[in-house]
Amino acid sequence: MSANSPFFNLPELPTFTLTSTDIEDGGVLSGPQLSGAMGIDGGEDKSPQLSWSGFPAETKAFAVTCYDPDAPTGSGFWHWVVTDLDASTTSLEANAGDPAADLLPSGAVTLRNDAGEPRFVGAAPPAGHGPHRYFFIVTALAEPLGVDESASPAFAGFNMFFKGIGRAWLECTYEAE
């Protein structure tokens, strides 16, 4: 595992299945998952539909994140962080990352992404920086994280380190020319 993997300093966890009708593992992101707000022509800032199964039976909650480890920041870029999804939640509709769409289940907590917004923001790597990887990750949790909207994505990740009991992900790419 490379030092630029989002899992490099995390414990290995049992994996489960994550699927999507909008994105494909190893695929290139398209207009809906690109960021018009950050200047990508045709970008719609819509989170993809996600479904998961096969997670540990003792799961009490889930966290859903989208992370770009290739952003030129020294710390990557968090595009989306939703915590404390009830264990009965096994899918999210497309565009659930837009708070105005009101598609997240009750009790879910959306944190501010690294663009400063409590929502999904699509891919927007700097032109000419090369391909970036986008990890859509669902983490099964032994208990809810219990963080509020003021928590940073890194703080949520720190808490997932201790409470994560399973992990599923889809890795996509995008390059701005």
- Residues 53 and 17 sit within 8 Å (Cβ to Cβ): yes
Over its length of 177 residues, how does the chain's per-residue pLDDT go in tens digits? 566 788 888 889 999 999 999 999 999 999 999 999 999 999 999 999 999 999 999 999 999 999 999 999 989 999 999 999 999 999 999 999 999 999 999 999 999 999 999 999 999 999 999 999 999 999 999 999 999 999 999 999 999 999 999 999 999 999 998
Using CA atoms, how far apart are residues 61 and 39, in angstroms rounded to an integer? 34
The CA-to-CA distance between both ends of the chain, in Å, stands at: 28
Q: What is the pLDDT of residue 6?
A: 87
DSSP characters for 104-119?
SPTT-EEPP-TTS-SS
Secondary structure class of 5 (helix, strand, coil)? coil
Q: What is the pLDDT of residue 1?
A: 52
